[in-house]
A and B are shown apart, each in its own frame.
Chain A
Amino acid sequence: MKPPKTTIDLMQGTLSALVLKALSCGPLHGYAVARWIEQVSGEGLLVEEGSLYPTLHRLEERGWIRSEWQRSATNRRVKTYSLTAEGERQLRAELAQWGRFSSAVSRVLRSRRTRPA
């Protein structure tokens, strides 16, 4: 019914970066963040959704995101998160770092083995 998926244990830092990225387009509640990650990663990155919440709370503690209780369309009490100015700075920093890291890794992975002459 579904394509086989592998649950990847994401490193804490990576998950934080994903959450910040998720919130960069606007306020979301935790469930929406989970769905967004699922969608944009093409369901390639599968997190155990529960682990998202300690991450959200820790990001709030660091002041990168803030939370607010709201009524949802279905009149549910939901907690939505949004990025703070500091969070945006953090996201930019992480993106830059990730870019450097991944291009370095791909250079290594794509290089042909050459024998020393």
Chain B
Amino acid sequence: VSAGTGRPDRSFGGRDIPRDVEDELASHLEMHEDELRARGLAPDAARRAALARFGDVARVREACRIIDERIARRRTRASMLTMVRQDVTFAIRTFRRSPGFSLVAVLALALGIGANTAIFSVVHAVVLRPLPYGSPDRLVFVWTTSSRAPREPLTPGRLLDVRTRNRSFSGAAGISHVPLNLTGDGAPERLPGSSVSSDFFEVLGVEAAVGRTFDRGEAGRAVVLSHGLWTRRFGADPAIVGRTITINGLPHEVRGVTPRDFVWPSITARPGGTFAGPELWVAARIKEIPSPPIDLDEDLSTRRQSQYLRLVARLKDGVTIEQARSDMEALAARLAEIHPDTDANQGLTVITAQEQLVGHVTLPLMVLAGAVIFVLAIACANVASLLLGRATARRRELAVRLALGAGRRRIVRQLLTESIVLSLAAAAAGTGLAWWAIGALTALAPMDVLRADQARLDTTVLAFTAALAVATGVIFGLAPAIQAARAAVGDGLNEAGRASDGPRGSRTRAGLVVAQVAAALVLLVGAGLLLESFVALQRTSTGIDTRNLLAFDVFLSGSRAEYQRLQTEFYDRMLERLAALPGVVHAGAAVTLPIGGDDFGASYIIDGKPAPESGQEPRAGLQIVSPRYFRTMGMRILRGRDIRPSDTREAPQVALVNESFARIGWPGEDPIGRRFAIGGAPNRVWLTVVGVVSDIRHFGPAEPPRPEFYRPYYQSSFPFMAVVVRTADDPLALVPSVRAAVLELDPALPISNVSTMEAHLYRSKAEPRFLSILLGGFALVALTLAAIGIYGMMAFAVTQRTREIGIRVALGARREDILGMVLRSGLSLAAAGAAAGLICAALLTRVLRAQLFETSVLEPTPVAAVTLLLLGVAAIAAAVPAWRASRVDVVRALRWD
């Protein structure tokens, strides 16, 4: 397209377009004037005639200028493209000539860029992307606060108070988590579900993908299905809307289906619970109060005791979260005055949806992001150091190019282009690496990391990778390029042939090696600490013998669910049958499964002790268990007796307490026969302690045992239980016979959540495992890169000093001396790096504090271990060139130029 190729063409140098246009038009007018004058016109008349013939000069001038500027822009762009293409072609040719160097550099950078891409894809999917709700930044959660816990669920009374008396929210919906039995159309299923105020979806700003969501003030039994459940169970049939399905034995009308990208976890006061999110939502029917797990179907609006409700709210336009907070504080103070015996000493707090839903994973993800940035920095230092070495070797080439008239800037640009080509090649390889890594990451990620499974190489992530690659290329390429260009200018051509590295170059390279070692050590220390912590976690006993233990849930429905006596009768028969199965040692049941399940709690007062102020009562974990539950779990009854069938509703109400409860309730005394009470004033229940049972860690090994008490299911029961079966052999082998035994008793009874306790325990450690495996992996990559760095530096130094080494040998130095000399200089670099690394680690590992279990942020054993590991690897990396140096052939060395 371009005109005038090869010919001097000054018109479009971009110099002065307006002047050129002016000149061109002026010359036309002048020539015309001349001609008219030659024909005898007077100068004035000639001028007028020429102008008249020409037309509107100003308009023509403007039109020409616009066209010319467009041409100039296009030509500049074209010539830049040509230049870049030349540079890139040249760079590729250069790399083809030294495949070893190129491979190492691309590999190192690919590891760095790949790791960053993979982690960024997760950070992006989980934290950076807006949550899939309408204006998610206006969404908040409201919790009760007390001296016992920073976040507690709300009571029905408080939920209604917040709904009606707040001044900050355009909507506030209650949520409760309820397991729901789905029957009809296929096998009965027990699913995680949620009962919500009818404006729940309106508050979230979410519209149904199919059908609609709930009507305001919904009075009928209505259900909204998750996209997943709709697809899995109903074959994504849109005709499901308006149909009636059976939930907990009652007909519910299907209102609609949530959008495919709608995610909603179970909302826990302790973030990071491992429950799956609800698969279906039922509308609250009475005064917008979501049902508790056992649907009592009665008006709960005056209940101010049972805390089971979560609350999600949307800030009114213009209201800040601080304003909402002070609004809620004022409301809590007001409620404490109105209801002194139930709401005293209780606050209300507001947190953002972002904090509630992803707050607990933000720090670990940032730790990983920091780690991969370290890896990339090491890779950059590594390649920069390689480039510095190459620049020395290429000095002759660069000097020639300078002598041939290439400017210093041109040379820097050429070298930078090489760096960027290198890092783009690495980005391509790294993206492949990341594609593989993201699969592994999402499989390994703990379940409670919302949307981690949505991490993928989308356009945002790829744009990030591309930007990272260019930035990387500039970072590791700029210093070597400038230094090379400067050196090439400094040297004469004649001198340039000597491949000697200036003192500045070798100092820079040594600095880069020290930095690599330091950064690698920081990562190693972090990984070492996490590993130590994870080992400590593995060693910690939960107080449960998890081997050969099968667990599953049952959920009764129909008349059996309605009467506690029938519930217990059924459980007794079921446990009897299970215990009689061949291969089963014991069978027991509890209302919540430790480690893998929910938890119930209650506040209590000790008989004979001054009652604490309202709202300040201590809390303990509440369990409702069958006889032989403790034996099945491998827990020990330390004093007193197990529960027995004679502990009926008519008999005295009894309980077993665990060691922690006994220690707090009756320090130094025998708790047997003592009493404590649970529940508020009107329905307070006194329980007599009949036994003490060993402590367990209900929330998994990472959390210390809490005070707990156990009530017999003959005295208080629920229509659902977690059943545990101790087996003689592999517990999973017994699943079919266990399932058959239960179905024989009741063909409509779903057993769900079938798993071994070992599996529950494994899942409870998902997050520390994830973090330590990942950080460990990154640390190993960093260590490898640092080792390559040391090796490269020493190998280069040995080549440089071949002549000197030869002289030393000729003068009588022994080979061991040479070996020692090179080894020492390599190790001294590593030692300097290690020292710097330890200082950085001391400053940085405190970010890990929340992730460490029974491990201090500078635990000596792992820190010492990884430091030794690093120095050992450094010694090996230096030993190879050192050995080569000691083998130097004196004659050849002395001829070395």
- Could you tell me which A residues sit within 8 Å of B by CB distance? 29-31, 34, 48-51, 53-54, 57-58, 60-61, 63, 65-69, 72, 76-79, 84
Contacts and interface: CB of A to CB of B under 8 A. Distances in A.
A57 B67 contact: yes
A115 B10 CA distance: 65
Contacts of B11: 67-69, 79
B129 interface: no
Given A50-B59, A53-B24, A68-B11, A61 B64 contact: no
Given A49-B54, A63-B3, A66-B4, A31 B71 contact: no
A31 to B, nearest CB: 4
Nearest to B58: A50
Interface in B1-45: 1-4, 7, 9-11, 20, 23-25, 27-28, 30-32
B502 interface: no
B54 A61 contact: no
B6 to A, nearest CB: 11
A84 B57 CA distance: 28
B7 A58 contact: no
Contacts of A65: 3
A50 B20 contact: no
Given A50-B59, A51-B60, A79-B11, A57 B3 contact: no
A48 B4 CA distance: 29
The 4 lowest CB-CB distance pairs between A and B, nearest first, are A66-B3, A50-B55, A48-B55, A54-B63
A31 B32 contact: yes
B27 A77 contact: yes
Q: Which of B1, B20, B24 gathers most chain A CB within 10 Å?
A: B24
19 contacts: A34-B28, A48-B53, A48-B54, A49-B32, A49-B55, A50-B25, A50-B59, A53-B28, A53-B64, A57-B63, A61-B67, A63-B1, A65-B3, A66-B3, A66-B9, A77-B23, A78-B24, A79-B20, A84-B3
Interface of B: 1-4, 7, 9-11, 20, 23-25, 27-28, 30-32, 53-57, 59-60, 63-64, 67-68, 70-71
A77 B719 CA distance: 102
Contacts of B64: 53-54, 57
Contacts of B32: 31, 49
Given A63-B1, A66-B3, A49 B67 contact: no
A44 B27 CA distance: 25
Given A69-B11, A79-B20, A58 B67 contact: yes
Contacts of B68: 57
A30 B9 CA distance: 17
Contacts of A78: 24, 27
A45 to B, nearest CB: 14
A53 B25 contact: yes
Contacts of A72: 27
Contact of B60 (A29, A53, A76, A79): A53
Given A50-B57, A51-B60, A68-B4, A61 B71 contact: yes
A88 to B, nearest CB: 13
Contact of A68 (B1, B7, B63): B7
A32 to B, nearest CB: 8
Nearest to B34: A74
A50 B32 CA distance: 12
Contact of A30 (B28, B57, B67): B28
A58 B3 CA distance: 13
Contacts of A34: 28
A67 B60 contact: no
A30 B55 contact: no
Nearest to B2: A63
A29 B23 CA distance: 12
B3 A29 contact: no
Contacts of A54: 60, 63-64, 67
Nearest to B59: A50
Given A50-B55, A77-B23, A68 B28 contact: no
Contacts of A30: 24, 27-28
B9 A50 contact: no
Contacts of B63: 53-54, 57
A52 B64 CA distance: 10
Contact of B10 (A49, A69, A76): A69
A49 B32 CA distance: 11
